[in-house]
Structure formats: structure tokens, C-alpha cells
Amino acid sequence: MENTEEILRKRIDNNNYEKLLEINNPELYSFVAKYIELCNPRSVFISNSSPEDIDYIRRKAIENHEEEHLRTPGHTIHFDAYGDQGRDKAHTKILLEKGETLDEFIVTGEREENLLEINSILKDIMNEREMFVCFFTLAPENSIFSIHCVQITDSPYVAHSENILYRQGYGEFVRLGKDARFFKFVHSQGELDERFVCKNLDKRRIYIDLKEETVYSTNTQYGGNTIGLKKLAMRLAISRCAKEGWLTEHMLIMGVHGPQGRVTYFTGAFPSLCGKTSTAMLEGESIVGDDIAYIKNKNGFAFAANVEKGMFGIIQGVNSKDDPIQWKTLHTPGEIIFSNVLVTEDGSVYWIGHDGDVPERGYNHSGEWFKGKKDSKGNEIPPSHPNARFTLPLESLDNIDPNLNNPEGVLVGGFIYGGRDSDTWVPVCESFDWEHGIIMKGASIESETTAATLGKEGVREFNPMSNLDFLSIPIAKYITINLEFGKNLAKPPKIFGVNYFLKGADGNFLNEKNDKKVWLKWMDLRVHDEVTAIKTPIGYIPHYKDLKELFEKVLYKDYSYDDYVKQFQIRVPENLSKVERIKSIYLKIKDTPVRVFEVLEEEKERLIKASQRFGDYILPEKFI
């Protein structure tokens, strides 16, 4: 067999070979050579992160028909194959050695067996194609948060997306040389049909090898399966941080602007469709990140950094009234990739929830589209896919925080956990302490499904820290790491639970969409001990007078005491039911920390005592 140097010299032209050689890292050479030989591309392009190389990838995405120009300068459209427009959970596996196990919630596969399979799929898969080798840094470069990555792909769309979403890393690889420790990603879209989308979806595989910190992805173009540095890298990072004592969280990072120009930074975890992006994008506040945070202990305080520099966002429902910042950016010239939306005859785009009337016709992921078009099963095809996306640089948003690329990260004042909950949690509640917050707010997240998008309505899905889909370690270990992280801080961030979806007896929401602005301002005041709070069995809730003042100041509206009582009464039966549900789940999870059950039991006892004294539905004033 040829050695690494011979393979690289033979298969890479001089210009690209010299760019690779600038990085003095034998492990990198071996990795690139291995997959050149296995995937057998026609040519190899090494990106050195220069504007010229980034532009080359952008142009190749057009030339290869993975993207097309739209009417607005800088905007392009990408389509995925019908049936390849979401994460493939069944074929996304954590690879484990024989004898290793994870919780039943986590899809796993036997490492040796699945590596043999993925290598057989990768054999000659890039024949007659160009291989792109790109370098990135997760989190700000040259910081305590930095993780370096190398991406191999035959899709310029994937490379283009990652150039928007992640910080360039070639210079860091050159600087570090042999000391570079990096995640590895191998992707091929496989054989394409006449629409230049994946043909062999039956061979779609997404495998995460924790041992070699490598992700494999084949026969798919959808970003969630192919943009390896996103949720796939998140599994690798969770595994790494579990060994090193820091946190990788499915969290937004935002700055809440308080009195006298103060900015307090919060992280926040919300399951899908629970208000995460709308919270991160609130007018008047500033966004550091909308999706993934690395959180580390620095001199006894929690600091967080955004893993990304861009946004891969769900576009359904984005409109000018509710999402003015996103709306403005999506209609301004600049680099944006739209995926699986409708393209109209004049080259503009439309998606479900867009302002204005639905166009009569256009083309989308199903091909030529018209109102009433149905698929092979007789189901009507909407103008855009429910999981249609946009990819854009965060710096194109008006509310971007100046600390986006700060290598020091931002000091975290509070953690926020939220879910879709119609009958139990109050709109905002502060935990008693770190331990209570991690267990009762974070590890107890449930989110109700909605009939409109997820099938049967009202089913409560357990999702600790909103991170269940991305765990690569046992749930019990994950919770333990979160508990221990706070114990090692001189001043842990305050922890809050929020609920934007509480309903009244008539079935209508008790909150309005913009009320979250007030809850955030109250949390900011609590972080700085500038308002007192009412101690209840479930944590600290706001005084009416403080919320009334904030509603007038922030939203210019009167907040009635009747609304306050409906929103902040303690619903004892519902809270007790939740405690029992969560307890029953953790009883089935191996090695759950004993402290989880103790904190659940303590909450139960407080609720029962309060009920015995005040009844099942308790007004806030009873606890004053």
C-alpha cells in the first residue's frame, strides 16, 4: 500500500498540496489521504480560508447545481430530495465498542460493524467528483472554548453553509501544527438524480465515532444531517466535555439590556417550537447565539461562547410583525442560503407564514408546484416544507451583540429553561439554588406536542435541558456533570423556568407573545438583586407591583391584577402530577443521582403542605 505522502502527492495538484503542507500535522495528512483513497475523488480542493477560496466554494455550489441564484443579490436556493428534509434519527447512531451501552433514548450501533458498513458505502463514492477539505474552529479562535475541525465533503453546498456558519480555521491549524487536536467529518451526498438531489436515501447514514472523534454522513444533503459541525459535532463535544468538566448545551446566548446601560447575559434551553429563537431575537436585546453554547468555569464564574457565527434557522412562520429583525435580514441583499422554500416565477421566495397571499405556482422541493398539488400518497404539498431553513451570518442581524467573537466569552448571569406547558408552570420562576434549578427546571423539561405540526395534541415529551436528542453520554452522567459544574463555581448563575404557553380554563393562552420581554427584564433585576420575590413551593415568583411597573415601562400596557393571579397562582395538582411523572422517568434511568429523587420529594412535600393550608390553587399573596 502506498504511504501517506505518495497518496497526497499523486492525488492532489501542486497548488492544493502546498496549502495542505503549510499545516505541519501528520495526523491530518493521514486522515486526508485515507479518504482520498477510499472515496476516490476526481480532484481535491484544499481551502486555506482565504476570500478567494471561500468564493471558489460559493461558485462551485452554483456550478454543481446544488444552489441557484435568486432575485435578491447574494441570495441562493438549495433543495433537498423529497424525504431528505429533516434529521434522520433512525440512522443517526453513536458508535460504541462491544459491551458499551447508553440509555434507550439514544440510538447506538456497534462500532466495528458500523465502521465496516460506512466504509463500504464510502468506497468510490466521490468518483468523478471534487473533494473539498475545509478547516474550521468551533467557538472563537484561540480561546479556552476553541475546538478545531476538518471537514471532507463532495458537496460545495455543505462547504458553503459551513463557511457561513463557522469561523475559519486554516490559520489556527497552521499556527498549532502538530499540536492541533481536531474533530473530523467525512460527508458525501452520493449519487444524484436529474434534479441534483440524493438518489440513494436507503443508504443514508449518519454515524458518530466517539473513540476517533469522527462523524460520517452519506447519501444525504439536508443540513442537519450533513453540516457536521452543528448537532453532529455537538455529540462529540458532549463526550469530550464530560471528561474535562465543562458543558456543551443546546442553548441560546443573549444579552438582556437593563438599567443604566447594563447588559446581563443569559443562556436558554427550549425544545423545538417553544420560543427559543423568538427569545434570542427579541427587539431591544442582543443576540450572541441561537443554538449551541460552550460553558466553562473561569476563575469561579460561568462564561459562555457561541459555537457558531451564523444561523441555520427554521423559516416557517417568520413574518414582518412577529420577527422584524429576521424579516429585514431575509429581505436585504447579502449572503443567505434558503432551503426547501417556494421559489416564485420572479425569483423571489415564499414560505408558510410569509406575509401576503400564497402564490398560485412556483417550484419547490417537489419540483414544479401549484396550489392543490398532491404527493404520491394523496397528501397536499404545502408551498414550503415545514422544516424549510435559512442560513445566514449572525453579523447581518441588527441585534447582534458585540461579544459574538470575544475569545473570553461572556459572563453568564442566568440559565433559562422552558417548554410548551399548558397547565403547570407559571410564566417565570426562579429556582431556590443551582441544584434545585438543574433538577426541577432543567432536568424536568417536558414539552407538549401540537396537533398542527406533531400529530396528537398534548402529549408531554420528556427532554432534559432540551438536549435529549444530542446526548452521547448517559442521561444520569449528564445530569451529574451539570450538578457538579455549579458546585465548583464561586457564584453560580441563577436558574429560571419560563412558560410561554400557559392556558386558562377557556383554553386560551394567558400570555401574549411579547410578554416574554417583561419576564426577561424581571430576571435581569433578580440576577442583580434589585427586586425581591415571593417564595413559593416551586421557587421564587415576581411580586405584582414589579410586573405592573415593567409592563408599563417595557410594553406600554396596563397589567391587571386579575391577569397576574391567573398566571402566577400555584397549581398544586398539576405540579404534583409533574413531580410524579418526572420521578417515574428517572426511576427507569440507570444510575440517576440520588439527589434527583431527594429534590423531587422535597418539592412534593412543599406542595402538599401548601395545599393543606391554602387549597389546590393558591394565590401568590398567600405566600407573602
Tens-digit pLDDT profile for residues 481-511: 999 999 999 999 999 999 999 999 999 999 9
Name the 3-class secondary structure at 400: strand
Which of 166, 89, 17, 170 lies closest to 470 in space, CA to CA? 89
Find residue 265's DSSP bridge partners. 255, 412
Average pLDDT over residues 139-151: 97
- Mean per-residue pLDDT for 101-121? 96
Percent of the chain past pLDDT 70, that is, above it, reads 98
**199-243 tens-digit pLDDT:** 999 999 999 999 999 999 999 999 999 999 999 999 999 999 999
**Least-confidence region, from 273-277, 286-290, 403-407, 502-506:** 273-277
pLDDT at 272: 85
How far apart CA 13 and CA 605 sit, in angstroms, is: 71
pTM: 0.95
Average pLDDT rounded to a whole number, residues 466-480: 96
> Considering only CA atoms, which of 306, 573, 303, 583 is closest in space to residue 443?
583
* Mean pLDDT, the chain, integer: 96
Structural domains of the chain, with CATH: 4-67+84-244 (3.40.449.10), 248-309+404-623 (3.90.228.20), 312-396 (2.170.8.10)
Query: Could you tell me whether strands 301-306 and 293-298 are parallel, antiparallel, or unpaired per DSSP bridges?
Result: antiparallel
Given the residues 134, 149, 241, 274, the one annotated as active site: 274
Q: Specify the pLDDT at position 456.
A: 58
Concatenated DSSP letters of 78-133: E-PPTT-SS--STTEEEEE-TT----TTS-EEEHHHHHHHHHHHHTTTTTTSEEEE
Backbone angles phi, psi at 225, to 5 degrees: -95, -20
The full length of the chain comes to 624
Q: What is the pLDDT of residue 16?
A: 98
**Secondary structure string (H, E, C) spanning 507-529:** CCECCCHHHHHHHHHHHHHHHCC
In whole angstroms, what is the distance from residue 391 CA to residue 159 CA? 12
35-58 burial, b for 16+ CB within 10 Å, e for fewer?
Answer: bbeebbbeebbbbbbeeebbeebb
Q: Is 134 a catalytic residue?
A: no
Stretch 24-40: mean pLDDT, rounded?
Answer: 98
E strands present in 419-509: 428-430, 446-448, 460-462, 494-498
Tell me what pLDDT residue 459 has: 84
Q: Are 69 and 155 in contact (CB under 8 A)?
A: no
Residue 511, C-beta contacts closer than 8 angstroms, at least 6 positions apart: 427, 499, 500, 501, 502, 567
Give φ, ψ of 553 to 5 degrees.
-75, -40
